[in-house]
Structure formats: structure tokens, C-alpha cells
Amino acid sequence: MSVQTMTPTRDDFAALLDESLGTRGMVEGRVIPATVVAIENDFVVVDIGLKTEGRIPVREFLIDDGAGAPKVGDIVEVYLERIENALGDAVVSREKARREEAWTRLEKSFAAQEAVNGALVGRVKGGFTVDLGGANAFLPGSQVDIRPVRDVGPLMNIVQPFAILKMDRQRGNIVVSRRAVLEESRASERAEIVGQLKEGEVREGIVKNITDYGAFVDLGGIDGLLHVTDMSWKRVSHPSQVLNVGDTVKVQIVKINPETQRISLGMKQLLTDPWDGVDAKYPAGGKFTGRVTNITDYGAFVELEPGVEGLVHVSEMSWTKKNLHPSKILSTSQEVDVQVLDVDGEKRRISLGIKQVQNNPWDAFVADHPVGSVIEGEIKNITEFGLFVGLTPELDGMVHLSDIAWDVQGEEALARFNKGDVVKAKLLDVDIEKERISLGMKQVDNDPMADADYKRGQIITVEIVDVATGGIEVAFGEGNALRSFIRKSDLSRDRQEQRADRFSKGDRIDAMVTGFDKSSRKVALSIKAMELADEKEAIAQFGSSDSGASLGDILGAALKDKK
């Protein structure tokens, strides 16, 4: 009969070794219970169920929340780092066990979103270190309080609640927030206080903070916003004009937002609304005195009484000052007389005018200067389309290019005058609505064309006033007041002689009238037509087509007869 035997494996040897050494169930890196068997000098000797004992420095027990050193026989939790080191001793740590316990406890609190207790123990870059009872956490500077804290000294080494924002056990990182706990507590208190408030209720509060848009008022544990527009019925540029930090004020709760728990407050609501009955107090057409409170690009606001303002549009400020910024006409705090143009009590709007309470220079001008009268003034400005002439201290008139002179037009007419020259002009038209005065300088003198009477075919003597490439400009009539342009093609019957450069300025020559239109003020002249007419007349008098005489003989005889 054969006997079968089993060959032991490596695992079997390991199990037998664990049984021999008493290490079955022991796992390195775990927290296990241990019994204090002795206290030798600065070490606590513990039995963890192995053949060898562990030794832990006494100081690791002294940081256990002030519990002090253990006694022989006490059961304590320790962290098993090594079952056996090179010397054959077990390596255990109370500090690491405490840290593991803390991480386990903190992970449960983090999962349940519960606050944990800790204390600020040090300052690091960007924040602070918080001891959470065995584990250190990072508290960012922005998470210390609801508002920035200048001095954290009073908060150091004081056990207080913190909210865990983030945990990473592998990296050993914990981020906590004190602000989140305060906000949660504050939200709970705020909800309770808000529940006690009612819209329309009047309460006293203390001004805690002033901003550009209003002030925050403490109503006893909760802040409300008093907007600058609700401080007074009159215009308030900045809240500091009405309130100071620390002032006790009486306010009315205007609105409560149940979702955001924001409270809007008002002070002016406790006063009588000055806009009540404003239609009867300030009727359209009424004249009053007010004070300029604000100037904008489009006009100025004038206070008629505290809380009641009207707008003077820039177009209603002056009869004569146009295209000027309101600040060039008025100044803040200036007292002005105004007339009510329109009032709307429901929309809280009043339209005012300043020029309406002043004499209209246009009416006075029309009364003193009827159309057709001649007026004298100084040239204030010269533009490409005419002259501006000062007629009164407030009003200017314009002389269009076409109304400067009878004999010249355009730039040549403008060139005769300079800024500052005193001239006479006839009043042609006054448009009060468009605020325009039209003048004519040439109308002061007689129109040379009025007495002109030229017939087609008439020969007249003209004077050359300008020589151009395309022809010559000539003057004629009484005082050479009339002008005409003889084109190059009309300078001679002979094409070779149709050159303007054969004439000189100042020469006097004869020309034939080929057209005359008094309405369009045009007199057409031609030297060529005159020469052709002379030729036709000579042929008629001194020869015929079959007489055998040459054209030269005929013209020679005609010229001799003329002489």
C-alpha cells in the first residue's frame, strides 16, 4: 500500500510562519488596537499581538487633544508601519494612527456635507493652515470671512467650524472654508429676519456702507439697500451728500425679494411727493425762477422746488446761440428765469424754455427792418458760398455769391471783400422759423441789364477784360457793367485767326450781337458773325457772282468806300 504525501507550497510555508510568529491577520499600513504594557523613560511599550513589542514616543500621545500619556493596561489605536524591522522590532506610530482616524472621520463628514471643527495654526502663501484634529487642511485667504479680514490674529488657535470644499487622500490635500459656514449661518438668520419684515413697514437702521449708487443700512442682523434715487425727491449726485456711515436713519421697506432675500429701502417715501398737483402749480405758459442742477449734452435740468425739476432743451436756451454746448450758455447752480412749455405730472416731466422769457431779437429786427430796406453791417465771415454780415449784436445775414455783384460771379466776387469790411446790402427776405436773413449787395445798385436794349445784328464796341484758352471775356455797357464771353470759334471767320492769344487785355474791339435775353441776363457776341456780315454786304454792293471781279477786289473796293 503506497502512502501519498502533499508537497507544501510557498503559501503554505507563509501561513505556517505567520502561525508560528503570531502575525496571522496583521496587515502593514493599517490601524490596529494595542495594549500598553509598560512606560519606559520617553517611550510607551505596546503589545500588538506579535512576539515582539512596539515602542512609541510619549510625545505622540501628548497631542491627543490634551488626553495626556496613557497608563499601563490602556487600549490604544496604533498604526502598523512594519511588522518587523532589521532589529526584529515592530514599527508602530500613534501619530499616524491619529491621522488615519482623522482622515476617516473627515471623509465621512465630507460625504455627509457636514461641518468639521478645526483651528487656524499657521499662515502659508495664499492662506492659512488649519488643524482638523490630526489632519492639516488649507484655508484660502478668500474663504476666511464673508468680507475681507485685515487682522486674523483673533481667529488663530480657536476651535471653530469649517466646511470641507475638497479632499484628496492620495495626495494628502484638504481645502476648507470658514466663509461657507458663516454664509450658511447668515442665510439661516437672514431668512428668519426676512420672514419678520413686511413691505411698507417703517424701521430704523444704521448706515453701514456707502457706495456710488446708494447705501447699505443694517436693520438689525440684515442689510437693505437704500438706492440713491430713493434718498430724496430732489436730485442727489452722490449718497454722501445725504448720509454718513454710522448715521441712524428711518426708512421704509419698499420691496422684499423672497428668492434672493434682497431688501430695497426708501427714505423719500416717508415724505410728501412734491409732484402731487404739479400740473396746477406749474401750468403751461407760466413763468418761474429756478436753479440749474445739472448740465448734459442735450440741455440743462432746472430745479423749480426741492424734488421738482424740469428740462430746458438746448434748442430752448437762446434765440441766437445755436450749435453750442449747454455749458457754454449756463452754469451749475445758476438762477434762471424759465417758462413752462409742457407739463406731464404722471410721467413726472416738465419742459422748460429760457429764451421764451427773453425778447425775441427776430421780432424786433423784422419790426425795424422791413423787406426791401437797405442795412449796413460788418462782414463777419467769408465762406465758399457767400458773405455773412453782422446786422445786430445777435443776428447775422447772408449774402449769397449770386447776390454780391452784377458784373462778376463766384470767387472773383468774393475776392473783392475782406473780413471786417463794412458793406451795404438790401434786405431780400427774413425767415423767422428757419432763422435766416437773406441779403443782396448788388441790389443796392441799379441793374445795368435793366436799361440794356440790344438787337440781334447790332455792332457794339467792347473792352477785353480777360484772355483765356477757350476765348476772351469782354465788358461793355454803361461803366462796363455788362459781361460776355466770346468763344474761340467766334473770334474770326478765318480758322487760322481763331486764336485768343492774338488779343490783349484792355484792347477795344467791335463785335456783333448774335443773341440777347434780358431774363437770363445773357448777351451773345461774335466777331466772326460781324466779319461774315461785312463780307455779304460788300458782295452785294460791289460785285456779283458773274461780274468777273475777285473777292479781294470786291472787299478792297468795299474797304476803300468805307474809308
CATH number, domain of 375, equals 2.40.50.140
The cell for 249 is: 436713519
Instruction: Output 111-117 pairs: Cβ under 8 A, ≥24 positions apart.
Output: 113/163, 115/161, 115/162, 115/163, 115/181, 116/161, 116/162, 116/163, 116/164, 116/176, 117/159, 117/160, 117/161, 117/162
> Taking the mean position of all CA atoms in its chain, how far away is CA 521?
57
Residues 164 and 143 in one domain: yes
Identify which has the larger pLDDT, 454 or 559.
Answer: 454
Same domain, 467 and 537: yes
What pLDDT digit, counting tens, does each position of 447-473 carry? Answer: 676 667 788 888 989 999 889 888 998
> Do 26 and 33 contact (CB within 8 A), yes or no?
no
Domain identity same for 119 and 174: yes
pLDDT at 97 over 70: no
Residue 107: partners with Cβ closer than 8 Å, 6 or more residues away = 167, 169
Would the pLDDT of 1 be above 80?
no
* 154 falls within a domain: yes
Residue where one domain finishes, among candidates 139, 154, 183: 183
109 against 78, higher pLDDT: 109
The more confident residue out of 172 and 491 is: 491
> In 59-122, which ranges are continuous DSSP H helix?
59-62, 94-111
Q: Looking at residues 1-13, what average pLDDT do you find?
A: 49
Angstrom distance (rounded) from CA 11 to CA 21: 15
CA nearest to 498, candidates 525, 458, 528, 475:
528
Q: Which residue has the higher pLDDT, 436 or 29?
A: 436
CA-CA distances (angstroms) from residue 183 to 22, 139, 158, 161?
A: 54, 16, 19, 12
**Which pLDDT score is estimated for 18?**
47
Residue 302, pLDDT score:
93
Q: In this structure, is residue 12 part of a structural domain?
A: no
Structure confidence at residue 65 as a pLDDT band (50, 70, 90) = low
Is the pLDDT score of 547 beyond 60?
no
Q: Which DSSP symbol is given to 407?
A: S
Asked if residue 542 lies in contact with residue 554, where contact means CB atoms within 8 angstroms, the answer is yes
> Is pLDDT above 60 for 3?
no
Of the given ranges (56-60, 144-148, 429-433), which has the lowest mean pLDDT? 56-60
Q: Please check whether residues 287 and 343 belong to one and the same domain.
A: yes
Residue 512 dihedral angles phi and psi, to the nearest 5°: -100, 140
Question: Which range marks the domain in which residue 327 is found?
Answer: 278-349
Average the pLDDT over 320-329 and give the result.
Answer: 84
Q: Any alpha helices (H) in 484-546, and if so which ranges?
A: 527-542
pTM value > 0.85: no
Radius of gyration of the chain (CA): 55
E runs forming strands in 19-152: 30-40, 43-47, 54-57, 75-82, 91-93, 116-124, 127-131, 136-140
DSSP, collapsed to helix, strand or coil, labels residue 523 as: strand
Q: Does one domain contain both 538 and 494?
A: yes
Query: Domain for residue 9, yes or no?
Result: no
How far does Cα 191 stand from its chain's mean position? Answer: 39
Q: Is residue 427 part of a domain?
A: yes
Q: Is 379 domain-assigned? A: yes
Residue 355 lies in a domain: no
For the ranges 85-99, 184-198, 280-294, 518-532, the maximum mean pLDDT occurs at 280-294
Please check the confidence at residue 39 and state whether its pLDDT lies above 90.
no
Q: How far apart are CA 295 and CA 303, in angstroms?
A: 12
Q: Same domain for 372 and 436?
A: yes
Asked whether the beta carbons of 249 and 258 are under 8 A apart, the reply is no
Q: In whole angstroms, what is the distance from residue 295 CA to residue 311 CA?
A: 10
Same domain, 304 and 372: no
Residue 202 lies in a domain: yes
Residue 252 lies in a domain: yes
Q: Which residues contact 10 (CB under 8 A, 6 or more apart)?
A: none
Mean pLDDT of the chain: 81
Of 313, 338, 396, nearest to 362 by C-alpha is 396
Specify the residue for cell string 442727489: 236
pLDDT tens per residue across span 132-180: 877 889 999 888 888 787 888 888 888 889 999 998 877 878 899 998 8
Q: Residue type for 11, please?
A: D
Q: DSSP letters of 417-430?
A: --TT-EEEEEEEEE
Residue 299's contacts (CB-CB under 8 Å, 6 or more residues apart) are 311, 312, 313, 314, 316, 317, 326
For 237, the grid coordinates are: 449726485
Cβ neighbours for 135, distance < 8 A, ≥ 6 positions apart: 99, 102, 103, 106, 174
| Residue at 122: amino acid letter | G
Phi–psi pair at 328, nearest 5 degrees: -80, -15
Taking the CA atoms of residue 383, residue 387, residue 393 and residue 394 in that order, the dihedral angle to the nearest 10 degrees is: -70
Q: Give the pLDDT of residue 335.
A: 92
pLDDT at 299: 93
What does the alpha-carbon distance between residue 393 and residue 299 come to, in Å, rounded to a whole number? 24
Whether residue 270 is predicted with pLDDT greater than 50 in this model: the reply is yes
For the residues 182-199, what does the mean pLDDT come to?
76
Looking at the fold, whether 264 and 217 belong to one and the same domain comes out as yes
**Cβ–Cβ under 8 Å, residues 486 and 480:** no
In the prediction, which pLDDT does 311 show? 94
Choose among 186, 136, 140: nearest CA to 165: 140
Tell me what pLDDT residue 73 has: 77
How many angstroms separate the CA atoms of 491 and 516, rounded?
A: 18
pLDDT value at residue 341: 93
Please give the share of the chain, as a percent, with pLDDT higher than 90. Answer: 14
Residue 562 has pLDDT above 50, yes or no: yes
Of 330-339, 344-353, 377-386, 549-558, where does mean pLDDT reach its minimum?
Answer: 549-558
- Residue 451 has φ and ψ, to the nearest 5°, of -95, 0
So what's the pLDDT on residue 288? Answer: 93
Say whether both 220 and 288 belong to one domain: no
The C-alpha atoms of residue 437 and residue 441 are separated, in whole angstroms, by 13
Indicate the number of domains in the chain: 6
pLDDT bin (cut points 50, 70, 90) of residue 11 is low
pLDDT tens digits for range 370-414: 888 888 889 889 888 889 998 888 888 899 988 888 777 777 788
pLDDT band at 291 (very low <50, low <70, confident <90, very high): very high
Q: At which of 137, 154, 183 does a domain end?
A: 183
Final residue in a domain of this structure, among 99, 134, 155: 99
